[in-house]
Chains A and B, each alone.
Chain A
Amino acid sequence: MVNWNRKAARRAAMAALLLAPAGLARAAPPVLQAEQSDVATLPAVGAHWVLPATDRDAYTIYDADAGRILGTLPASILGNIALSPDRRTFYVADTIWSRVDHGTRQDLIQEYDAHTLALRREITLPPRALAVYKGQDFDVSPDGRWGYVFDMSPATSVTIVDLSKGAVARTVDIPGCALVFPWKQNGFSSLCGDGSLTNVGYAGGDTPTVTHTAPFFDANNDPIFEQGLVDRATGHALFVSYTGKVYAATLGQKPAIAAPWSIQAAAGQPVAGTGVQEQAWRPGGKQPFAWNRASGHLFVLMHVGTYWTHKTDGTEIWELDPARHALVRRIDLPMPARGIAVSGDAAPLLYATSQDGTMIVIDARTGAVRRTVEAHAQSMIVAPDLPAGNG
């Protein structure tokens, strides 16, 4: 057997050698050609793009359907981003030191082309103290004209930037108040320490119009979270308190604020109070809320805990219908999450970030986890708010 095999092998080898030139010529892959280095560009901003703050130096652009990175926008540990309503520009509001941790301080808005991610323009801001890590530090008006930059020095003010001119229009003091929640047009509101809103109307010129609402929430005993949500197309806003009361408002020079309702009551659970040993389902985390434009549904990171656990990671996401004050669904998370965001479309994806940097992508229609991504994600995560009918 062995001998026969050897002979057969030898004959086969001889035959292969004889046939080789013709056979090789047919089967050989083509020689690889020299390549030119080029640079990728991005398609139009997609409904399922999401930008988690990553590590401490960027927002990373993901296509959540494919679960892959499309590009990177540099931003410091405290930098904020916003997408222009026409989807052509990413704005980064940031503070940069010329020598990393010292030197000349530069406060600026950077404009990046959303197609190429090329740095197109930088708008110098007056000295500001960018002091907190929150999405509500910076936003763009729904018409794309104005940028609103929250300043804290530690006195508080908002710098209004004319984005069409690339120049600061003016800075408005908002004593005792903080953050920016844009109106449908020409203005923004801020949350105040006495439980009210201050409302700054500005459509150009020298003088903004500043009004105040009466206090509508108890800032001492049940303050509302900083991470209120705004539907920029309508000027509607949702604010949620530590105990889980939802205040719906229509922002403007004279905001209309509806009576609050309880997330827990909507879900058939005991309403949470302010007891430090009172276990209840409560909202919590670093970015605990998200709002889907298509359905109008509110998503809230929830955990079981006592009062003063408003920063505790959520173990579930509750989907609520603010119009009916009703629970739609409770979604179990595969791991606790500290921040969430949701896409704006009718087939929404829900994004959650965990302590270990994982980004969880969930189909909001079923609650099923689509994928988990090792994203180096921080708690802040931005799902571009794409205006309806715009592309």
Chain B
Amino acid sequence: MPVSFLDTLGEAVTRRLAARSSRRGMLGRMGAAMAVAPAFPLLPVRRADAAPAPTPNPAATLTDFERRAQSTDPTKCTYWRHCAIDGVLCGCCGGGVHTCPPGTEPSPVSWIGTCRNPDDGRSYVIAYRDCCGRNICAAPKSCGCNTADREMPIYRPQASNDIIWCFGTASTAYHCSTAAIIGQAG
């Protein structure tokens, strides 16, 4: 019974994908999906990865975050790459926007967001990798962010920012969060 359901689901997703997406958009999304694919070894989840993601908004309909986003201070929640980050910024903890603080370890998998750079107006795929292996960083409250552009519930884990992504690290202790660019969004 479950197998037939999964087949049905897979077919439905594939058909929807074919009906709705361009080839270039598909490539972009596939790239994004590949970034997190190691995290989801089970077929149904991979198929869900390939499902149409919410597309970046054109400039005319920016989100509140995008309208206020800045590109100069990565230790602030308003920094453009932090459009959907939930946690303490590693830049406030001895690390940087893609650098883990000393003594910690980056999570090999992560979830991804899509954020708009106000400098060039382009949207980029961001990997929100956690730094793990030490207890939570005691940074000022202003370094604790909880933004949610295009953020989804945990049953869409590849777009969910509540998950502590310290999978595959020596310890699951969460220390802080980074926001590394993976590439331009499709």
In the complex with contacts A154-B167, A275-B61, A276-B61, A177-B155 CB distance below 8 A: yes
How many A-B residue pairs have C-beta atoms within 8 angstroms? Tell me: 136
Query: Does A129 count as interface, using CB distance less than 8 angstroms?
Result: yes
Listed stretches B36-44, B72-80, B94-102; interface member:
B36-44
Categorize the interface residue count of chain A. Answer: 35 or more
Query: Does A390 count as interface, using CB distance less than 8 angstroms?
Result: no
Interface residues in A178-220 (C-beta closer than 8 Å to B): 178-179, 190-194, 210-212, 219-220
Contact check, A193 vs B135: say whether CB atoms are below 8 A apart.
Answer: no
Query: Does A77 count as interface, using CB distance less than 8 angstroms?
Result: yes
Query: Does A333 count as interface, using CB distance less than 8 angstroms?
Result: no
Listed stretches A34-42, A223-231, A261-269, A322-330; interface member:
A223-231
Which of B12, B48, B151, B154 is close to A132, meaning CB atoms less than 8 Å apart? B154
Q: How far does the alpha carbon of A245 sit from the alpha carbon of B169 in the complex, in Å?
A: 39
Residues of B within 8 A of A296 (CB): none
Residues of A within 8 A of B170 (CB): 102
Contact check, B45 vs A155: say whether CB atoms are below 8 A apart.
Answer: yes
Interface of B is mostly: loop
Residues of B within 8 A of A275 (CB): 61
Q: How far does the alpha carbon of A97 sit from the alpha carbon of B132 in the complex, in Å?
A: 13
Interface residues in B139-186 (C-beta closer than 8 Å to A): 146-157, 162-165, 167, 170-174
Contact check, B153 vs A191: say whether CB atoms are below 8 A apart.
Answer: yes
Contact check, A311 vs B136: say whether CB atoms are below 8 A apart.
Answer: no
List residues of B whose CB falls within 8 A of some A CB. Answer: 1-2, 5-6, 9, 12-13, 39-45, 48, 51-52, 54, 57, 61-65, 86, 109, 133-136, 146-157, 162-165, 167, 170-174
- Closest Cβ of chain A: how far from B81's Cβ, in Å? 16
Which of B51, B149, B174 is close to A308, meaning CB atoms less than 8 Å apart? B149
In the complex with contacts A212-B5, A223-B152, A276-B61, A193-B167 CB distance below 8 A: no
Contact check, A175 vs B43: say whether CB atoms are below 8 A apart.
Answer: yes
Contact check, B153 vs A308: say whether CB atoms are below 8 A apart.
Answer: no
When C-beta atoms are compared, the residue in chain A nearest to B175 turns out to be A101
Contact check, A134 vs B2: say whether CB atoms are below 8 A apart.
Answer: no
Contact check, B164 vs A102: say whether CB atoms are below 8 A apart.
Answer: no
**CB pairs A–B below 8 angstroms (22 shown):** A77-B174, A97-B171, A101-B173, A102-B170, A132-B162, A154-B39, A154-B157, A154-B167, A155-B40, A173-B42, A175-B44, A194-B13, A194-B48, A210-B2, A220-B54, A223-B155, A224-B153, A225-B153, A308-B151, A309-B64, A311-B147, A311-B151
Contact check, A154 vs B163: say whether CB atoms are below 8 A apart.
Answer: yes
When C-beta atoms are compared, the residue in chain B nearest to A179 turns out to be B154
- Closest Cβ of chain A: how far from B148's Cβ, in Å? 5
Contact check, B54 vs A226: say whether CB atoms are below 8 A apart.
Answer: no
Contact check, A276 vs B57: say whether CB atoms are below 8 A apart.
Answer: yes
Q: How far does the alpha carbon of A129 sit from the alpha carbon of B154 in the complex, in Å?
A: 14
- Closest Cβ of chain B: how far from A378's Cβ, in Å? 12
Contact check, A176 vs B134: say whether CB atoms are below 8 A apart.
Answer: no
Residues of B within 8 A of A156 (CB): 157
Q: How far does the alpha carbon of A310 sit from the alpha carbon of B167 in the complex, in Å?
A: 26
In the complex with contacts A101-B133, A220-B51, A176-B164 CB distance below 8 A: no
When C-beta atoms are compared, the residue in chain A nearest to B104 turns out to be A101
Residues of B within 8 A of A153 (CB): 167
- Closest Cβ of chain B: how far from A342's Cβ, in Å? 22
Contact check, B163 vs A132: say whether CB atoms are below 8 A apart.
Answer: yes
- Closest Cβ of chain A: how far from B73's Cβ, in Å? 22
Contact check, B155 vs A133: say whether CB atoms are below 8 A apart.
Answer: no
Which of A154, A194, A210, A305 is close to B1, meaning CB atoms less than 8 Å apart? A210
Residues of B within 8 A of A192 (CB): 155
Residues of B within 8 A of A124 (CB): none
Which of B42, B146, B156 is close to A311, meaning CB atoms less than 8 Å apart? B146
- Among A173, A175, A177, A221, find the residue whose CB has the most chain B CB atoms closer than 10 A: A175
Residues of A within 8 A of B42 (CB): 155, 173, 175-176
In the complex with contacts A102-B133, A308-B63, A133-B148 CB distance below 8 A: no
Contact check, B172 vs A105: say whether CB atoms are below 8 A apart.
Answer: yes
In the complex with contacts A133-B162, A175-B42, A194-B48, A219-B156 CB distance below 8 A: yes
Q: A179-B155, A275-B61 are in contact. List 12 more A-B contacts (CB 8 A).
A: A77-B136, A129-B167, A129-B172, A131-B172, A132-B162, A211-B1, A226-B155, A277-B62, A309-B64, A309-B148, A310-B151, A312-B148
Residues of A within 8 A of B6 (CB): 175
Which of B62, B63, B136, B155 is close to A219, meaning CB atoms less than 8 Å apart? B155
Contact check, A100 vs B48: say whether CB atoms are below 8 A apart.
Answer: no
A76-114 interface code vs B (CB 8 A; 1 in, 0 out): 011000000000000000010100111001000000000
Q: How far does the alpha carbon of A311 sit from the alpha carbon of B43 in the complex, in Å?
A: 30
- Closest Cβ of chain B: how far from A196's Cβ, in Å? 9
Q: How far does the alpha carbon of A286 sit from the alpha carbon of B162 in the complex, in Å?
A: 10
Query: Does A373 count as interface, using CB distance less than 8 angstroms?
Result: no
- Closest Cβ of chain B: how far from A95's Cβ, in Å? 7
Q: How far does the alpha carbon of A225 sit from the alpha carbon of B153 in the complex, in Å?
A: 6
In the complex with contacts A134-B162, A211-B1, A101-B135 CB distance below 8 A: yes
Residues of A within 8 A of B5 (CB): 212
In the complex, the 4 A-B pairs of residues with the closest C-beta atoms, listed nearest first: A101-B173, A176-B44, A178-B155, A276-B63
